[in-house]
Amino acid sequence: MSKKLSRRNFLRMTGAASAAGALSLGGLRPMPVFAQSNDVSLLTWGHFITSQNSLLESLAASWGEANGVNVNIDFGGLGQLADTLATAAAAGAGADIMMMLYARPHQFAEALVDVSDVCEEVGEANGGWYDVAVETCQVDGVWRAMPWYFAAHAMVYREDIFAEVGIEEFPTTWEGLLEAGTTIKSAGLPPFGFSVGRADGDGNNFAFGILWSFGASVTDEEGAVSLDSAETRMALEFVQQLYNDAMDPNVISWDDGSNNQAYLAGEVSCTNNASSVLWAGRRNGIDFMETTNHAPYPEGPAGRLLLVQTHSMGILNYAENVDAAKDFLRYINSQEAWLPLGVDSFAFNSPMFRSLEDNPAMPWNFDPALSAFKGLGEDGRMFGYPGTPSAEASEVASNFVIMDMFGSVCAGAASIDEAIETAVSQIEDIYGM
């Protein structure tokens, strides 16, 4: 069930979002003011591939001119968006359409327009939605946001460093990755780097991917807190050993940009990321980009399970021009708009519908270094797994409860039992137990 926007919940959401904003790519800035008119306004993030922003503006302008609608787009920092959304939802004023990360359609369901008609139509026209798209944007059977794309994450690594210690194939299991990392670090070569600090994107992707692949979860299928388990202890023991034997010790304080910077500087030989590391390295002419490759996340005892950073668009219930806003959502997920944006994104934007995976124009079908990003939607999961996403599950992530659990153990600030006990207490408070 969705959580009502009470004053207490509003303060909790804005507080968490403000903390995330301090770590964002763009940082916090004043909330934009939008004119009240029959125009349609959109607030989205400023893509790190800046051509995405100008291309989106161009596509929106062309569509608007053809349909008699003026589309006003404002770009914010990635971490700013949740804070602005919470403020707009509480105040009843702001952009008509807002981009949201992860399961935030569940957090703000009561402030969002029902877009089921558009989502059903677009999904049917494009080969169907991945399950994670439905789980992310559908709340109690009602579509509260339109899936747009997800930032697929994979392992990015240096083939030359792995080859120096005789490793020719990237490990397919976490245990194999630990063995490889231990060998590389022991040889005095650049170690691995996976954030166990408060990194909303890369950190949560790593932590939840590990947790789930070891068979652990925050809550079970019925929504009961299930973190205090043997599987969670195994996951924590594994990450503790990975940190001690294979990683750069600075990962405890890393934010979302730190692993990119460390890899591009040649300080680490493997991390988890979207395609942004390779994109930036090629743009800057870094020589070891020629031996940089990607691989799917390794498998654990429970298989390969991947948290996907979903990007969706919701129409706020104060919007005056809902029909035009819906038409714009329909257009932005048409192949006329999605294909040029997807091609330009260097595999950062992965479709949440199935029809484009085999399209030869998509980067993973013609660039061998990006082939690992193809079809990752099938492995995608969302906060709340193995149950359904919820406002509470999203809040656990945005408050970095799981990240802090892993980080405190790696830093030696807490024993495994103490870290689990602290996390369970925080989770029970969020769920009101």
Each residue's pLDDT tens digit, 249-267: 999 999 888 999 999 999 9
- Considering the domain architecture, whether residues 257 and 141 belong to the same structural domain is answered as no
Distance CA 235, CA 239 (A): 6
Residue 225, SS3 per DSSP: strand
Distance CA 149, CA 406 (A): 28
First-to-last alpha carbon distance for the chain, in angstroms, is 15
Q: What is the CATH number of the domain that holds 329?
A: 3.40.190.10
43-61: average pLDDT = 95
Q: Structurally, how many domains does the chain consist of?
A: 2
Closest-CA residue to 404 (of 204, 181, 197): 197
Whether pLDDT at 222 is above 60: yes
Distance CA 312, CA 300 (A): 29
**Residue 248 falls inside a structural domain:** yes
- Considering the domain architecture, whether residues 237 and 91 belong to the same structural domain is answered as no
Q: Give, in order, the Cα–Cα distances in Å from 151 to each of 115, 135, 232, 281, 332.
A: 23, 16, 26, 18, 17
User: For the range 281-286, what are the long-range contacts, defined as Cβ-Cβ under 8 Å and sequence gap of 24 or more?
Assistant: none
Distance CA 276, CA 282 (A): 10
Residue 299 dihedral angles phi and psi, to the nearest 5°? -95, 150
Q: Are strands 380-381 and 306-307 parallel, antiparallel or unpaired?
A: parallel
Residue 58, SS3 per DSSP: helix
- Considering the domain architecture, whether residues 100 and 38 belong to the same structural domain is answered as yes
Whether pLDDT at 380 is above 70: yes
> Helices (DSSP H) in 30-173: which residue ranges?
50-67, 80-91, 104-107, 116-125, 131-137, 159-164
Q: What is the mean pLDDT of the chain?
A: 90
Percentage of residues in the chain with pLDDT exceeding 90?
A: 80
**Residue 387 falls inside a structural domain:** no
- Considering the domain architecture, whether residues 36 and 90 belong to the same structural domain is answered as yes
Distance CA 294, CA 296 (A): 7
Per-residue tokens: 391: 């406002």
Whether pLDDT at 432 is above 50: yes
Distance CA 237, CA 239 (A): 6
pLDDT at position 199, please?
86
116-133: average pLDDT = 95
The residue among 79 and 316 whose pLDDT is bigger is: 316
Q: Dihedral (C-alpha) 81, 273, 287, 367: value to the nearest 10 degrees? A: -100
**Residue 1 falls inside a structural domain:** no
Distance CA 27, CA 32 (A): 14
Distance CA 100, CA 424 (A): 27
Q: Provide DSSP, 314-353.
A: EEBTT-S-HHHHHHHHHHHTSHHHHHHHHHHTTTSEEESB
Domain ranges, residue 121: 7-150+308-364
Q: Are strands 309-315 and 306-307 parallel, antiparallel or unpaired?
A: unpaired
H-helix or E-strand spanning residue 306: strand 306-307
pLDDT at position 37, please?
56
Whether pLDDT at 175 is above 60: yes
- Considering the domain architecture, whether residues 125 and 12 belong to the same structural domain is answered as yes
Percentage of residues in the chain with pLDDT exceeding 70?
A: 91
Residue 201 pLDDT class (50, 70, 90 cuts): confident
pLDDT at position 83, please?
85
- Considering the domain architecture, whether residues 44 and 138 belong to the same structural domain is answered as yes
- Considering the domain architecture, whether residues 167 and 179 belong to the same structural domain is answered as yes
Find tokens 């789930």 and name the residue.
Answer: 212
**Residue 388 falls inside a structural domain:** no
- Considering the domain architecture, whether residues 298 and 313 belong to the same structural domain is answered as no
Which amino acid is residue 311, in one-letter code?
H
**Residue 85 falls inside a structural domain:** yes
Q: Are 206 and 195 in contact (CB under 8 A)?
A: yes
**Residue 377 falls inside a structural domain:** no
User: For the range 60-68, what are the long-range contacts, defined as Cβ-Cβ under 8 Å and sequence gap of 24 or more?
Assistant: 60/328, 60/332, 63/328, 63/331, 63/337, 64/40, 67/324, 67/327
- Considering the domain architecture, whether residues 240 and 286 belong to the same structural domain is answered as yes
pLDDT at position 27, please?
32
Per-residue tokens: 118: 């558009």
**Residue 391 falls inside a structural domain:** no
Whether pLDDT at 364 is above 60: yes
325-337: average pLDDT = 95
103-118: average pLDDT = 94
Q: For residue range 23-38, what is the model confidence (pLDDT) as tens digits? A: 333 333 333 444 445 7
- Considering the domain architecture, whether residues 270 and 408 belong to the same structural domain is answered as yes
Q: Dihedral (C-alpha) 391, 396, 398, 401: value to the nearest 10 degrees? A: 180
Whether pLDDT at 374 is above 60: yes
The residue among 406 and 31 whose pLDDT is bigger is: 406
- Considering the domain architecture, whether residues 188 and 268 belong to the same structural domain is answered as yes
How many C-beta atoms surround the C-beta of residue 309 within 10 A?
A: 22
pLDDT at position 79, please?
72
pLDDT at position 82, please?
82
- Considering the domain architecture, whether residues 14 and 141 belong to the same structural domain is answered as yes
**Residue 394 falls inside a structural domain:** no
Chain centroid, CA 84 distance in Å: 18
Whether pLDDT at 243 is above 60: yes
Q: Give the best-scoring range by mean pLDDT among 46-50, 339-343, 413-417.
A: 413-417
Find tokens 């030696």 and name the residue.
Answer: 412
